[in-house]
C-alpha cells in the first residue's frame, strides 16, 4: 500500500512537473556530457589499445636517408628493444582515373615474409605477392573513395618512373588511423592514400635494394622510449637519421590523442556548470514549494509526524527530480557516445570498434546527480521543517520592504511604478536574483565556450589559407635544387608566379632541451607562402638569426638573444649555432624560421629550393594538371584551393550539427533557470498582478512586471556570462594544448553576440510560457483571498 | 468641486442593468448567483448593497466594475453597453472610469503608499497628484511607508486614495470595512463619504453591517440573486454619527 505521504509526494511532483522537468533536463545535460564523453573516450581508448596490440603498432619510429639492412641487427641490440622492423617508404604520385590532379601516395614496402610491426589489416582481396612487382594493396579509405576494387589498374609515378600497377586488396593500418597527407590540415581520402607494395618492387624503383629508410621498434615492457630513441639516433646518425620519436609524435597517434584530450577537457569543464545550476534550481523550487506548504507541515507535525519523516518526505522529492535527471542524462549520454563514435569513425579509420560503457562514469554521475539534489534541497528542507508546528501553521511573515538610499535614487529616476516593483523585487530577494543571474550567465558561458572552438578553427583557417598560404599549388621536390628550378616551373602552362621554399629537418638543441623540427627559409618579398602569426599578421624576418613560434621557444626555453644549436638532419648535415632573434605567436608549428640569405650564408652554399609555390591561371589548370603527373622531380603536391575548400566544408558541416547541439544544451540552462524563476514569481505574486489587472492595467502592462524582471536579470547576466565564458575558454585551451597543438584563443564578437542572443531568446521564450498563464489568470478569484 | 444637493440627481444613470443573470457552472453543478437584476444608479449617488452571504453582492459589483460579464441580460455604463465588451475594452473601461476598494486592500507590498497611488495615476487621463489623494484620506504624513508598515485601516485608506486619485466616475467598494474594527472602519467610511460628497463620485458599497446603510442615499438588498428591497435613505447620517 502506498503511504499517504508518498501519494502526496507524487501529487506534488505532478503539480510542479514542468518545473521539475526543467531542472531534471539541466541536470540531465550535465550528466549526458559526462557519461557521453567518458563512454566515447573509453571506446576510443579500448579500440585503439586492441588495434595497436593486434597489429603490433610500433613504439619508436625513425626515418633515415638510407641504411643497409644489416643495421637492423645492431638496432635489435639496443637495450630495451623487443622487435625491429625496417622498410622503405617514399612518396609517389598516383593517377587515379577521373581525377585531373594526381593524388599523393605514401608508398610502404611490404616485406616478403610479412611485416613484423605495424601490420596492415586486410579488409578485402589479398596482399601483393612478393614476386609480383606490379601489385599494390591500397588503404581502404582511399580505395573506397575512388572505387578501386581489386583488379583495377592504376598509374603511379614512383622514383621518377611511371608504372602500371594492379590493385590486389584493401587494407587499414594502425599508423594511419588518422591519415594526413603531406602539408594537409585534415584527412582527405580522395587525395591521399597508402600504397603497400612488395619490397623488391619499391627497392628496385628507389634503388634501395638491401637498404631501408624507415625503422620502427617495439620495446620491452620496462624500457624507456626516450632512452631508446637517443640510442637509436646515435646509431643511425651516419645513415642520415632524421631523429627518432615515440608514439606521442607519431602523427596519427598524436592527432587522436589530442582529440581525446579535447573530449576529456570538455567532460571535466562543462558538467560542473550544469550540476551547480541544477543544485540552485532544486533549492529555489523546493524552497517555494515548502513555503506554500507551511501550513501542511504544521499539520503533519501536529498529527505526530517527526521532523525527520517530514524532511525525508521533501528530500525524496528532490531525489526524485535528481533520479529523473540521471536517467535522462544516461540515456542521452549513451546516445551521444554512439553519435560521437560514428562521427569519429569518419575521420579515424579502425578495422573494428570496441564499444565500451564507462561504469565508473555512471556511478560518478549518479552520485553527483543525487548529491546535487541533496545539496540543493537539504538546507531549505531542514530549515523549514524544523519550525515548531504552531509556527509552521501560521502564514510566513509578509515580505517587508523598507526605503533605503537606493529608493531615494529610484525617486530621482522617476521610474514607472511597475519598474519600481521590478527593482524592489530583485532587491528584496537578492538570493533568488543571484541564482537567476548565475544560471543565465552559466548558459551564456557554456555557449561562448562551445562556439569559440569554431572561432579558433576559422582563425586558423584564415591564417593558414588567407594569410600564410596564398599559393594555389605547392610542389615538393624530391631533392633540393638550385634556384634555376624556379625558371623551369615558370615555364609550365598556366603558372603566373613562382616562389621558392626551402625546409630541412633539424634537431633544435638548447642544453638539455631539444626538439625535433625543421628549419624553414623565407625569401624576402614573398607574397604567396608567408610567415604569419595566429592572427594572420605577417612576421617580419630579421636579416639574421632564427624566429621561433612561442610554443617551440618555450619548450626549448629560449627567447630573443639566446643561441640554439641546429643539427641539420638532411644534407649537408651540419650543426649550426644560430641566435634566436624573435619569437612570435603561433599555436601550431615546430619549425624555426630564418631569412634565406642568412641560412645559406651560414651553410656557405648557394641558395637551394625544396618547394615551389605556384600561383596559377585557373583557365589553364587542365593543361598544367596534365603535365604534373609526368614531372620526375616532383615528389608530392598540395592543392591549396582544394585543401581550403575541404577545410571550409568540414567546418560548415560540423558547424551546423555541433552548433545545434551546443546551442540546445546551452539554452537548456537558461530555460531551466528562467522558467523556474518566472514560475515562482508568478506563484508568489499572482495576487498582486491580478490586482494590477483589476486596476485597469492591460495584460501587456502587467506582463511587463514579470517579463521585465526576468529579462532585466538576463541582460545583466549576459555580460557576466561573456566574462565567465572567456575564462572557461581559456581553461579549455590550456587543458587541450599539448606539445604539438595549441588552440589559438580567439573569441569573435559574433560568438559573444550569438551566445547572448541564444540565452536571451531562451529566457524570453521560457518567460512567455509563464506569461501565458499570467494572461489567463482569473481576476475575480484572485481578489477573494490571499494565498 | 461639485456639491450635489441630496435629493435631486440628474435623470441620467451611471449604471443601468436589465435582467442581469449570472450563472456559475462548475462541472454539472449550476449556481445562479444573480437572477434578473434590474437596477440603475444615478450620478453622484451613494448606494449601500446589503444581503446575506452568497446572495450575489460581489457578483453584481464585479459585473458593474467590468471584472465579469453577465450570463444573460444587459449592463450599461452611461451610454456604453458593457455586456459584450471585449477583455481589452473592459480593461480600458476600468482604467478610465472605475475605482475599486476591496476587503483585503490589495495594495502592492513592494510599493510605498504614495507609489501605490502613483501606480494608478500614471495610467489615468486626468489624475490628481498622489499626495493630494493621500491628504484627502488623512495619510499625507505616512506617504513613504510600505503597506507592511501601516495598520489595516491605514492600508484601506491608501486603497481608497488609490481608487479616487484618478477621479473615477464610480467607486466600487466590496466590504471595505470587513477586516477592520469599528473605530478604524468609521475612519474608512468617513473617507468614502467625503469623496462622494466632495467629488460627486457615484459609489456602491457592499457591507454586512446594516448600520452603515444610514450614510447612503439608497439601500439595495439582495437575497438569493434577486433585489428584494430598493429604497432611499430618508434620515442620512454622517459616518461619525453612526452608532454601532
Ligand atoms: N467562481 C465561482 N464559481 C462558482 N460559484 C460561485 C463563484 N463565485 C461565486 N459563486 C457563487 O455565487 C453565489 C454568489 O456569490 P457572491 O460572491 O456574489 O456572494 P456575496 O453576496 O458576495 O457573498 P459574501 O457576502 O459572502 O461575500 C454564491 O453562492 C457563490 O457560491
Ligand atoms: Mg462578497
Determine if ligand 1 sits within 6 Å of the CB of residue B52: no
Subunit contact A696:B162, Cβ cutoff 8 A: no
Q: What is the dihedral of CA A778, A779, A781, A787, to 10 degrees?
A: 100
- Mean pLDDT computed over A555-577: 86
CA distance A386 to A310: 9
Subunit contact A417:B122, Cβ cutoff 8 A: yes
Subunit contact B162:A695, Cβ cutoff 8 A: yes
pLDDT reported for residue A739: 59
Grid coordinates belonging to A152? 583495377
Distance of CA A70 to the CA centre of its chain: 44
Residue A724 predicted with pLDDT over 80: yes
Q: Is the dihedral of CA A416, A421, A422, A427 positive or negative?
A: positive
Q: Where are the domains of chain A?
A: 1-58+251-397, 59-250, 429-471+641-787, 495-616
pLDDT reported for residue A637: 76
pLDDT reported for residue B188: 86
Contact A582, A549 (CB under 8 A): no
- Mean pLDDT computed over B59-68: 94
Determine if ligand 1 sits within 6 Å of the CB of residue B51: yes
Q: Please state, as a whole number, how many other Cβ atoms lie within 10 Å of the Cβ of residue B183.
A: 9
Grid coordinates belonging to A566? 641546429
Residue A191 predicted with pLDDT over 50: yes
Grid coordinates belonging to A400? 517587508
B123 touches chain A (CB under 8 A): yes
Q: Which helix (H) or strand (E) holds A747?
A: none
Determine if ligand 1 sits within 6 Å of the CB of residue B24: yes
Q: Whose CA is nearest to atom 27 of ligand 1?
A: B53
**Which residues make Cβ contacts (< 8 Å) with residue B171, sequence separation at least 6?**
B98, B99, B100, B101, B163, B164, B192, B195, B196, B201, B202, B203, B204
Contact B163, B99 (CB under 8 A): yes
pLDDT digits (tens, 9 = 90+) for A390-447: 777 676 666 777 777 777 777 778 888 999 999 988 988 888 899 999 999 999 999 9
Q: Whose CA is nearest to atom 26 of ligand 1?
A: B53
Chain A stretch 675-704, residues whose beta carbon is closer than 8 A to a beta carbon of chain B? 687-688, 691-699, 701
What is residue A406's three-state secondary structure? helix
pLDDT reported for residue A671: 94
- Supply the mean pLDDT for chain B: 89
User: Please, what is the angle between helix A699-736 and helix A430-461, to 10°?
Assistant: 50
CA of A779: how far to CAs of A60, A538, A697, B22, B86, in Å?
79, 69, 12, 16, 15
Grid coordinates belonging to A340? 560521437
Contacts of B104 in chain A (CB under 8 A): 783, 785-786
This prediction's pTM = 0.82
- pLDDT tier at B1 (50, 70, 90 boundaries)? very low
Q: Prior bond to A572 cis, omega within 30?
A: yes
CA distance A44 to A52: 12
Q: Comparing A743 with A651, which gets the higher pLDDT?
A: A651
Subunit contact A779:B122, Cβ cutoff 8 A: no
Report the separation in Å between the CA atom of B67 and the middle of ligand 2, taken as the mean of its atom positions: 14
Residue A621 predicted with pLDDT over 60: yes
Residue A186 predicted with pLDDT over 80: no
- Mean pLDDT computed over A517-544: 86
Q: Comparing A644 with A571, which gets the higher pLDDT?
A: A644
Least confident of A102-106, A395-399, A623-627, B153-157: A395-399
pLDDT reported for residue A1: 45
Q: Is the dihedral of CA A26, A30, A31, A36 positive or negative?
A: positive
Subunit contact B96:A400, Cβ cutoff 8 A: no
Smallest Cα–Cα separation from A303: which of A4, A1, A15?
Answer: A4
Chain A stretch 403-432, residues whose beta carbon is closer than 8 A to a beta carbon of chain B? 403, 416-418, 420-421, 424-425, 428
CA distance A17 to A20: 5
Q: Please state, as a whole number, how many other Cβ atoms lie within 10 Å of the Cβ of residue B225.
A: 22
CA distance A646 to A339: 22
Subunit contact B102:A785, Cβ cutoff 8 A: no
Subunit contact A400:B148, Cβ cutoff 8 A: yes
Q: What is the dihedral of CA A363, A365, A367, A369, to 10 degrees?
A: -150
Q: Comparing A473 with A757, which gets the higher pLDDT?
A: A757
A786 touches chain B (CB under 8 A): yes
Q: Choose the closest CB to A779 out of B67, B109, B149.
A: B67
Report the separation in Å between the CA atom of A779 and the middle of ligand 2, taken as the mean of its atom positions: 14
Atom of ligand 1 nearest to the CA of B55: 21
Residue A722 predicted with pLDDT over 90: yes
pLDDT reported for residue A786: 53
- Supply the mean pLDDT for chain A: 87
Contact A766, A670 (CB under 8 A): yes
Tell me which long-range contacts A649-654 makes (C-beta under 8 A, separation of at least 24): A650/A186, A651/A454, A651/A457, A651/A458, A651/A461
Name the residue of B54, B55, B174 whose CB sits within 8 Å of the most ligand 1 atoms, as the mutation to test its pocket: B54
pLDDT reported for residue A648: 83
DSSP per-residue string spanning chain B = -----SS---SSEEEEEEEEEEEEEETTEEEEEEEEEEEEEETT-EEEEEE-TTSSHHHHHHHHTTSS--SEEEEEETTEE-TT--HHHHHHHHHHHEEEEETT----TTS-HHHHHHHHHTT-SSPPPHHHHHHHTT-GGGTT--GGGS-HHHHHHHHHHHHHTT--SEEEEESTTTTS-HHHHHHHHHHHHHHHHHH--EEEEE-S-GGGGGGSSEEEEEETTEEEEEEE-SS---GGG---
- Mean pLDDT computed over A252-271: 85
B67 touches chain A (CB under 8 A): yes
CA distance A762 to A613: 50
Residue A185 predicted with pLDDT over 70: no
pLDDT reported for residue A2: 59
Residue A742 predicted with pLDDT over 70: no
Subunit contact B95:A398, Cβ cutoff 8 A: no
pLDDT reported for residue A395: 66
Grid coordinates belonging to A30? 550535465
Chain B, nearest residue to A408 by Cα: B144
Determine if ligand 1 sits within 6 Å of the CB of residue B56: yes
Contacts of B108 in chain A (CB under 8 A): 417, 421, 688, 691-692
pLDDT above 70 covers what percent of chain A?
96
A66 touches chain B (CB under 8 A): no
pLDDT digits (tens, 9 = 90+) for B82-101: 999 998 999 999 999 999 99
Report the separation in Å between the CA atom of A78 and the middle of ligand 2, taken as the mean of its atom positions: 101
Grid coordinates belonging to B19? 435582467
CA distance B10 to B2: 13
Determine if ligand 1 sits within 6 Å of the CB of residue B31: yes
> For A134-250, where are the alpha helices, taking DSSP H only?
140-146, 199-206, 225-236
pLDDT reported for residue A647: 80
CA distance A279 to B39: 59
Report the separation in Å between the CA atom of B133 and the middle of ligand 2, taken as the mean of its atom positions: 27
Q: Please state, as a whole number, how many other Cβ atoms lie within 10 Å of the Cβ of residue A106.
A: 23
- pLDDT tier at B7 (50, 70, 90 boundaries)? very low
Smallest Cα–Cα separation from A87: which of A10, A199, A251?
Answer: A199
CA distance B61 to A403: 36
Residue B10 predicted with pLDDT over 60: no
Determine if ligand 1 sits within 6 Å of the CB of residue B59: yes
Report the separation in Å between the CA atom of B206 and the middle of ligand 2, taken as the mean of its atom positions: 8
pLDDT reported for residue A781: 74
Chain B stretch 191-210, residues whose beta carbon is closer than 8 A to a beta carbon of chain A? none
Grid coordinates belonging to A392? 509552521
Report the separation in Å between the CA atom of B157 and the middle of ligand 2, taken as the mean of its atom positions: 20
Q: Say how many CB pairs under 8 Å bridge A and B.
A: 84
Residue B34 predicted with pLDDT over 90: yes
CA distance A653 to A574: 47
> Most B CBs within 10 Å: which of A408, A426, A696, as the mutation test of the B interface?
A696
B131 touches chain A (CB under 8 A): no
Phi (first) and psi of residue A539, to 5 degrees: -95, 120
Q: Comparing A33 with A658, which gets the higher pLDDT?
A: A33
A463: left (phi over 0), alpha (psi -120 to 50) or beta: alpha
- pLDDT tier at B6 (50, 70, 90 boundaries)? very low
Contact A348, A141 (CB under 8 A): no
Strand partners for B227 = B222
- Nearest ligand by distance to the CA of B53: 1
CA distance A680 to A432: 10
A43: left (phi over 0), alpha (psi -120 to 50) or beta: alpha
Name the residue of B34, B51, B56, B206 whose CB sits within 8 Å of the most ligand 1 atoms, as the mutation to test its pocket: B56
Grid coordinates belonging to B225? 440573486
CA distance B105 to A598: 90
Q: Comparing A58 with A481, which gets the higher pLDDT?
A: A58
Subunit contact A698:B91, Cβ cutoff 8 A: yes
- pLDDT tier at A754 (50, 70, 90 boundaries)? very high
B115 touches chain A (CB under 8 A): yes
Most confident of A234-243, A624-633, B218-227: B218-227
- Nearest ligand by distance to the CA of B51: 1
Residues making up chain B, counted from first to last: 244
pLDDT reported for residue A262: 80
Most confident of A379-393, A578-592, B126-140: B126-140
Q: Choose the closest CB to A425 out of B58, B65, B110.
A: B110
- Mean pLDDT computed over A690-709: 94
- pLDDT tier at A552 (50, 70, 90 boundaries)? confident
pLDDT reported for residue B11: 56
pLDDT digits (tens, 9 = 90+) for A766-775: 999 999 999 9
Residue A300 predicted with pLDDT over 60: yes
Smallest Cα–Cα separation from B213: which of B233, B231, B196, B193?
Answer: B233
- Mean pLDDT computed over B196-215: 91
Report the separation in Å between the CA atom of B32 and the middle of ligand 1, taken as the mean of its atom positions: 9
Determine if ligand 1 sits within 6 Å of the CB of residue B57: yes
**In terms of DSSP bridges, do strands A495-510 and A513-522 run parallel, antiparallel, or are they unpaired?**
antiparallel
Enumerate domains of chain B plus CATH numbers: 2-10+44-68+87-241 (3.40.50.300)
**In terms of DSSP bridges, do strands B46-51 and B218-223 run parallel, antiparallel, or are they unpaired?**
parallel
Q: Is the ipTM of this complex over 0.85?
A: yes
Residue B3 predicted with pLDDT over 50: no
B108 touches chain A (CB under 8 A): yes
Least confident of A232-241, A474-483, A551-560: A474-483
CA of A635: how far to CAs of A86, A630, A679, B24, B175, in Å?
22, 11, 68, 91, 99
Residue written as cell 557554456?
A: A446
pLDDT reported for residue A563: 92
Subunit contact A420:B111, Cβ cutoff 8 A: yes
**Which residues make Cβ contacts (< 8 Å) with residue B79, sequence separation at least 6?**
none
- pLDDT tier at B4 (50, 70, 90 boundaries)? very low
Amino acid at each position: 500500500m502506498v503511504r499517504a505521504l508518498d501519494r502526496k509526494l507524487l501529487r506534488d511532483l505532478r503539480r510542479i512537473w514542468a518545473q521539475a522537468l526543467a531542472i531534471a533536463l539541466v541536470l540531465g545535460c550535465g550528466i549526458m556530457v559526462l557519461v557521453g564523453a567518458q563512454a566515447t573516450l573509453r571506446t576510443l581508448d579500448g579500440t585503439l589499445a586492441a588495434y595497436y596490440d593486434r597489429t603490433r603498432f610500433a613504439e619508436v619510429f625513425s626515418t633515415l636517408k638510407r641504411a643497409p639492412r644489416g643495421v637492423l641487427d645492431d638496432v635489435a641490440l639496443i637495450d630495451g628493444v623487443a622487435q625491429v622492423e625496417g622498410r622503405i617508404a617514399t612518396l609517389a604520385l598516383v593517377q587515379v582515373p577521373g581525377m585531373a590532379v594526381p593524388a599523393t601516395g605514401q608508398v610502404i614496402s611490404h616485406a616478403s615474409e610479412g611485416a613484423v610491426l605495424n601490420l596492415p589489416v586486410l579488409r578485402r582481396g589479398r596482399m601483393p605477392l612478393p614476386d609480383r612487382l606490379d601489385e599494390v594493396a591500397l588503404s581502404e579509405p582511399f580505395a573506397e573513395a575512388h572505387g578501386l576494387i581489386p583488379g583495377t589498374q592504376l598509374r603511379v609515378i614512383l622514383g621518377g618512373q611511371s608504372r602500371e600497377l594492379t590493385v590486389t586488396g584493401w587494407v587499414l593500418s594502425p599508423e594511419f588511423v588518422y591519415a594526413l597527407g603531406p602539408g594537409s590540415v585534415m584527412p582527405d581520402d580522395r587525395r591521399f592514400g597508402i600504397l603497400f607494395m612488395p619490397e623488391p618492387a619499391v627497392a628496385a624503383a628507389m634503388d634501395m635494394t638491401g637498404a631501408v629508410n624507415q625503422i620502427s621498434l617495439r620495446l620491452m615492457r620496462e624500457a624507456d622510449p626516450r632512452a631508446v630513441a637517443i640510442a637509436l639516433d646515435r646509431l643511425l646518425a651516419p645513415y642520415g637519421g632524421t631523429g627518432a620519436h615515440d608514439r606521442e609524435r607519431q602523427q596519427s597517434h598524436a592527432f587522436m590523442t589530442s582529440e581525446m584530450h579535447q573530449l576529456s577537457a570538455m567532460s571535466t569543464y562543462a558538467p560542473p556548470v550544469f550540476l551547480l545550476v541544477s543544485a540552485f534550481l532544486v533549492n529555489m523550487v523546493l524552497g517555494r514549494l515548502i513555503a506554500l506548504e507551511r501550513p501542511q507541515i504544521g499539520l503533519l507535525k501536529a498529527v505526530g509526524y517527526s521532523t525527520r519523516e517530514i524532511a525525508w518526505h521533501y528530500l525524496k522529492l528532490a531525489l526524485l527530480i535528481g533520479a529523473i535527471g540521471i536517467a535522462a542524462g544516461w540515456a542521452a549520454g549513451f546516445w551521444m557516445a554512439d553519435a560521437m563514435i560514428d562521427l569519429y569513425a569518419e575521420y579515424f579509420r579502425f578495422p573494428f570498434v570496441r564499444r565500451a560503457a564507462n561504469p565508473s562514469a555512471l556511478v560518478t554521475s549518479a552520485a553527483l546527480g543525487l548529491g546535487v539534489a541533496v545539496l540543493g534541497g537539504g538546507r531549505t528542507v531542514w530549515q523549514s521543517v524544523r519550525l515548531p508546528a504552531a509556527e509552521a501553521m501560521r502564514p510566513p511573515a509578509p515580505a517587508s520592504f523598507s526605503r533605503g538610499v537606493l529608493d531615494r535614487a529610484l525617486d530621482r529616476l522617476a521610474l514607472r511604478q511597475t519598474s519600481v516593483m521590478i527593482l524592489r523585487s530583485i532587491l528584496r530577494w537578492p538570493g533568488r536574483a543571484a541564482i537567476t543571474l548565475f544560471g543565465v550567465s552559466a548558459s551564456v558561458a557554456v555557449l561562448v565556450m562551445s562556439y569559440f572552438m569554431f572561432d579558433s578553427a576559422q582563425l586558423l583557417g584564415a591564417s593558414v589559407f588567407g594569410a600564410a598560404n596564398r599559393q594555389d599549388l605547392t610542389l615538393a621536390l624530391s631533392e633540393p635544387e638550385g634556384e634555376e628550378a624556379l625558371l623551369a616551373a615558370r615555364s609550365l602552362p598556366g603558372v603566373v608566379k613562382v616562389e621558392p621554399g626551402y625546409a630541412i629537418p633539424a634537431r633544435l638543441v638548447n642544453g638539455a632541451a631539444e626538439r625535433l623540427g625543421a628549419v624553414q627559409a623565407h625569401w624576402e618579398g614573398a607574397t604567396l607562402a608567408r610567415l604569419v602569426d595566429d592572427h594572420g599578421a605577417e612576421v617580419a624576418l630579421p636579416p639574421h638569426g632564427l624566429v621561433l613560434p612561442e610554443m617551440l621557444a618555450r619548450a626549448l626555453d629560449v627567447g630573443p638573444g639566446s643561441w640554439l644549436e641546429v643539427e641539420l638532419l638532411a644534407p649537408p648535415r651540419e650543426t649550426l649555432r644560430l641566435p634566436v632573434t624573435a619569437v612570435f605567436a603561433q599555436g601550431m608549428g615546430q619549425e624555426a624560421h630564418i631569412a634565406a640569405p642568412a641560412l645559406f650564408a651560414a651553410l656557405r652554399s648557394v641558395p637551394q629550393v625544396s618547394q615551389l609555390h605556384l600561383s596559377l591561371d585557373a583557365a589553364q589548370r587542365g593543361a598544367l594538371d596534365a603535365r604534373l603527373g609526368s614531372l620526375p622531380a616532383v615528389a608530392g603536391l598540395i592543392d591549396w584551393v582544394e585543401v581550403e575548400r575541404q577545410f571550409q566544408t568540414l567546418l560548415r558541416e560540423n558547424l551546423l550539427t555541433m552548433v545545434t547541439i551546443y546551442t540546445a544544451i546551452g539554452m537548456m540552462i537558461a530555460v531551466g533557470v528562467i522558467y523556474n524563476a518566472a514560475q515562482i514569481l508568478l506563484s508568489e505574486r499572482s495576487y498582486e498582478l491580478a490586482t494590477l489587472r483589476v486596476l485597469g492595467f492591460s495584460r501587456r502592462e502587467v506582463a511587463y512586471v514579470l517579463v521585465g524582471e526576468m529579462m532585466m536579470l538576463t541582460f545583466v547576466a549576459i555580460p557576466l556570462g561573456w566574462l565567465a565564458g572567456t575564462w572557461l575558454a581559456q581553461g579549455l585551451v590550456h587543458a587541450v594544448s599539448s606539445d604539438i597543438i595549441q588552440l589559438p584563443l580567439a573569441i569573435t564578437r559574433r560568438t559573444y553576440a550569438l551566445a547572448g542572443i541564444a540565452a536571451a531568446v531562451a529566457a524570453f521564450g521560457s518567460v512567455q510560457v509563464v506569461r501565458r498563464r499570467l494572461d489567463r489568470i482569473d481576476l475575480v478569484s484572485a481578489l477573494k483571498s490571499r494565498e | 468641486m461639485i456639491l450635489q444637493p441630496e435629493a435631486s440627481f440628474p435623470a441620467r444613470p451611471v449604471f443601468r442593468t436589465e435582467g442581469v443573470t449570472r450563472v456559475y457552472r462548475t462541472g454539472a453543478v449550476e449556481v445562479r448567483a444573480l437572477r434578473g437584476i434590474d437596477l440603475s444608479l444615478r450620478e453622484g449617488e451613494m448606494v449601500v448593497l446589503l444581503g446575506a452571504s452568497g446572495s450575489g453582492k460581489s457578483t453584481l459589483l464585479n459585473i458593474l466594475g467590468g471584472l465579469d460579464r453577465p450570463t444573460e441580460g444587459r449592463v450599461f455604463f452611461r451610454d456604453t453597453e458593457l455586456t459584450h465588451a471585449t477583455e481589452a475594452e473592459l480593461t480600458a473601461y476600468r482604467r478610465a472610469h472605475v475605482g475599486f476598494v476591496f476587503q483585503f486592500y490589495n495594495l502592492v507590498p513592494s510599493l510605498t503608499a504614495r507609489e501605490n497611488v502613483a501606480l494608478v495615476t500614471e495610467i489615468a487621463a486626468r489624475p490628481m497628484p498622489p499626495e493630494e489623494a493621500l491628504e484627502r484620506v488623512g495619510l499625507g504624513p505616512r506617504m513613504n511607508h510600505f503597506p507592511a508598515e501601516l495598520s489595516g485601516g491605514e492600508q484601506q485608506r491608501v486603497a481608497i486614495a488609490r481608487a479616487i486619485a484618478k477621479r473615477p466616475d464610480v467607486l466600487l467598494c466590496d466590504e471595505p470595512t470587513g477586516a477592520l474594527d469599528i473605530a478604524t472602519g468609521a475612519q474608512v467610511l468617513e473617507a468614502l463619504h467625503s469623496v462622494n460628497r466632495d467629488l460627486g463620485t457615484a459609489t456602491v458599497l457592499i457591507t454586512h453591517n446594516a448600520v452603515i446603510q444610514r450614510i447612503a442615499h439608497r439601500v439595495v438588498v439582495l437575497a438569493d440573486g434577486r433585489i428584494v428591497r430598493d429604497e432611499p435613505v430618508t434620515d442620512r447620517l454622517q459616518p461619525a454619527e453612526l452608532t454601532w
